[in-house]
Structure 1
Amino acid sequence: MTAFCIYIQCSRFGNSYFYMYPESKGRKGADEVSLFLYHFVHNFLTPEVGHLGIFCDSCGGQIKNATVFRFLHHLVHTEKRLDYVKMTFLIRGHLYLECDKNIDMIDQTQECQIPKDWCQVFQNSHTHALPFVIIDVEEQPEIIKCWTEHLDNTIYKKKLPFQSRPIRELEVTRHHAALVRYRGSYNGAYEQASLLLRGKKGQDSSLKDGEFSLPSAKYEGDLKISAEKYRDLQDLKRFCHSEVQVYFDHLWH
């Protein structure tokens, strides 16, 4: 059974945040990435932080897409939580960041019978000055919100007005209410484009100044796993403890 982990490394303070959950509680797409960024900004960044720099890979399904770009615009212009966000998409094979070193600390030889066991393995992997911060999403699956559907039905275009694949850097700044700036290299001139529908000015007209709406929960209850995987788990569970066998018996399939 798959256990997902989305990792955010805060370079300014040196903290590591791991959002962990099994495939029965969520997927690993743009909605999850947007939610965990939202949770990180509102729960772990101090209020005086107004500029956010994000270094990440170029995975189109998770990060480099309309949902995440519009979500960042929402953070800056609708919620006004940040003044400036810059995303830098690194070249494949050149991700020499702190997060890569920290992942190497995880002891993957540890016995884990259910996805939740990985939370303890990660927690025990770094117990010195700055222990890993583990957010067990399985304990609070309602935090996964449907950002894509929410943004589709507000002030934003459903499709990007530019190709996302060639982009190396993208900026969202408070100085340009409707625009994002982007470029296909790490130097040179920026291009710009509007993510808003024609006639929209960055705020839902049905809301008062300073108000904003948030998306509803994306999933209601557990997610269905494939029948083939369920059969395999039922066959393999005999090697697990009795309480673990109950966990696998209750998976929706």
Structure 2
Amino acid sequence: MLQKVWPKKDNRTPNAPPKYTEAAKSYVRSFIEKLPAVPSHYNRKRTNRTYLPQELKNVTNLYRIYLKDCNETGQENVSETVFRSIFREYNISFHIPKKDKCITCINAENNKETMTDIDKESMNAHIEEKNATKPRFKIHQNLRTLNNETIVSSFDLQKVLNTPHGESMLLYYSRKYAVYNLTFYESGTQDVYCYTWGECDGKRGSNEIATCLLKYLDVMDRKGTKHLILYCDSCSGQNKNKIVLAAVNNFIKTATNLEVIQLNYLLPGHTYMPVDAVHAVIEREVKNLIVYAPSQWATYFESARKRPRPYKVHSLDHTDFLNLDDLAAKTFTSATLKKLKCKQVRIATFKKKNPNQMFVKYSMKQESVSHTVILCENISRKGKERKGKGQLKGKKDKQIKINEEASRAGGVLYDSKLKISSMKYRDLIRLCDTGAIPKKISRRIS
């Protein structure tokens, strides 16, 4: 006789409901998306990765800020493990590198086994160029001891100075006002010049950099400098472009003392310069301080160094920046630009005795060949513009002078102050309302 057999009871734990609601996870994503992430300086065209400000430190610290935000808003919080898992969904990292690494060297290191002969040849040429830069730079650093009429200077834009700045937890979770600082460091004299402005007064483009460079050239000319050798990185949006080159070319034609100005462009990823030490000193100065207002940065710049001399700080506003687009268009004709490999230029030299000529080298090797590029404003004898070979034919060219009178002739770059985003303005006002920014300073913002 058949007996009924009943299946045994399933003692396995049934699927438990999700520990955290979708609303809680959604709030985490909303929190992350509101963070003030910015792209890398050099690699923004190659990658979508963005970077959070240095003061946020790491994910653990960011999670603490998230918990504090949840307590204030009454939102359900998730565990740190879940928070990290959601954070990894975004291509976000911490700490923008002070100098982005060389992409060529990184690729070669990661692909040693698959490199072709052409790749190896290209990499060897890259290494040779890198090695040729060091002795040249070292020799230039010692020129001041041999010749008092020669100045060797390096310049660079410091990483964005977010304001308010400090270690206070109240300052972390908000968008901040950006302050820029273009610094010049003279290796022989150890003099430092800081040109600083806020995001309402200008951007970080070639016109702004060229304007600051012209102001520095004017200082050098008044000091009686005859030969000026400049070192900078190869960022095409700021330093290596026709606007900067046209500005230097135009300046030397009307200079009183300067006879030679040379721009040396370092390889991307191999751009450590003495001016970087200045930025490190400034960062140490403000490390344990709270900077509430943009105007305070200039004071901290000056107090960052006592010996041999304090830094010389020049604060700029929107009326200082020049629109040099027309000057660049008249200096570099379409025919000239076709011949000039601007992205590959390593050295650009301008001489007062050779007006409207630029001597370029595409390598820093001693055996590299110098190429002469003719710069001009295309004007016929009747004064009408005409197409040509990039060479002015006539007795004298009509110069566009870059000085206090002339700069206005070309026009200022901005007619009024620039606006910040509504979201950034809202965050700054919130810092004022919560007392994170003192009332005496918050009145200037609101």
TM-score, with normalisation over the residues of structure 2?
A: 0.50
Match of 1:7 in 2: 183
For 1:43 and 1:55, locate their aligned partners in 2 and report how far apart those are by CA, in whole Å.
17
**Structure 1 residues 180 and 45: CA distance shift in structure 2, 3 A:** closer
Alignment of 1:17 onto 2:193: yes
- For residues 61 and 116 of structure 1, what CA distance do their matches in structure 2 show? 27
Instruction: Show CA shifts across 1:119-172 (max 9, x none).
Output: 12211110222111111114xx422111223443x5553773412111111111
Contact 1:155 1:203 in 2 (8 A): no
Pairwise mapping of residues 232-243 of structure 1 onto structure 2 (< 5 A)? Answer: 232-238=427-433, 239-243=436-440
The Cα of 1:82 is off from its aligned counterpart by 2.6
Tell me the SS of whatever aligns to 2:344: coil
Displacement after TM superposition at 1:241 (Å): 1.1
Say whether residues 1:185 and 2:363 are aligned partners.
yes
Give percent identity, aligned residues only. 20
Residues 167 and 23 of structure 1: CA distance in aligned 2, closer, same or farther (over 3 Å): same
Partner of 1:105, secondary structure, is helix
CA distance in 2, matches of 1:73, 1:99: 24
Cα distance in 2, alignment partners of residues 149 and 206 from structure 1: 12
Deviation at 1:20, TM superposition (A): 0.9
In structure 1, list runs of 5 or more residues that go unmatched. none
CA contact 2:185–2:193 (8 Å) conserved in 1: yes
Q: Describe the SS at the equivalent of 2:239.
A: coil
- Measured after TM superposition, the shift of residue 13 of structure 1 is 1.8
Give 2:319's match in structure 1, choosing from 139, 142, 146: 142
- Residue aligning to 1:247: 444
Cα displacement (A) at 1:66: 0.4
Against the structure 1 CA distance between its residues 81 and 74, is the aligned structure 2 distance closer, same or farther, given a 3 Å change threshold? farther
Structure 2 SS opposite 1:6:
strand
Within 1, Cα distance between the matches of 2:372 and 2:353?
13
Aligned pair in 2 of structure 1 residues 203, 160: CA closer, same or farther (>3 Å)?
Answer: farther
Aligned residue pairs total 242
Higher alpha-carbon deviation: 10-19 or 52-61: 10-19
Does the CA-based 8 Å contact 2:246-2:327 persist in structure 1? no
Deviation readout 1:172-195 (Å, 9 max, x if unpaired)? 123433321212210211122223
Task: Give the one of 198, 203, 215 matched to 1:27.
Answer: 203
Q: Give the AA of the match of 2:370.
A: Y
Separation in 1, partners of 2:399, 2:345: 34
**Relative to structure 1, is the Cα distance of residues 155 and 87 closer, same or farther in structure 2, using a 3 angstrom cutoff?**
closer
- Alpha-carbon RMSD across the aligned residues, in angstroms, is 2.5
Counterparts of 2:337 and 2:244, CA distance in 1: 11
- Contact preservation (8 Å) 1:5, 1:19: yes
Letter in 2 for 1:53: I
The CA deviation at 1:246 is: 2.0
- The match for 1:163 is 341
Q: Which has the larger radius of gyration?
A: 2
Q: Is the 8 A contact 2:184 2:193 kept in 1?
A: yes
Q: Is the 8 A contact 1:167 1:182 kept in 2?
A: yes
Instruction: Indicate the structure whose relative CO is greater, using CA pairs within 8 Å and at least 6 residues apart.
Output: 1
How has the CA–CA distance of structure 1 residues 183 and 43 changed in structure 2, closer, same or farther, with 3 Å as cutoff?
Answer: closer
User: Displacement of 1:102 after TM fit?
Assistant: 1.8
Q: Given the superposition, is the C-alpha separation of residues 177 and 54 from structure 1 closer, same or farther in structure 2, using an over 3 Å criterion?
A: same
CA distance in 1, matches of 2:419, 2:179: 14
Counterpart residue number, 1:200:
392
Match for residue 123 of structure 1? 302
Corresponding residue number in structure 2 for 1:220: 415
Return 5+ residue gaps in structure 2 as ranges: 1-176, 379-387
Residues in 2 aligned to 1:204 and 1:179: alpha-carbon distance in whole angstroms: 13
Alignment partners' CA distance in 1, 2:252 and 2:220 = 17
8 Å contact kept, 1:78–1:203: no
Pairs within 5 Å for 1:98-113: 98-106=274-282, 107-109=285-287, 110-113=289-292
Whether 1:64 and 2:64 are equivalent positions in the alignment is no
Instruction: Tell me the secondary structure at the aligned position of residue 325 of structure 2.
Output: helix
Secondary structure in structure 1 of the residue aligned to 2:247: helix
Distance 2:224 2:242 in 1: 28
Moved more, 191-200 or 34-43: 191-200
Q: Answer whether contact 1:24 1:223 (CA < 8 A) is retained.
A: yes
Cα distance change on mapping 1:114 and 1:168 into 2, 3 Å: same
Superposition pairs for residues 29-44 of structure 1, below 5 Å?
Answer: 29-44=205-220
Q: Distance in 1 between matches of 2:333 and 2:430?
A: 47
Closer, same or farther in 2 for the Cα pair 1:12/1:46, shift >3 Å? farther
Residue 182 of structure 2 aligns with an amino acid whose one-letter code is I
SS of the aligned residue for 1:100 comes to helix
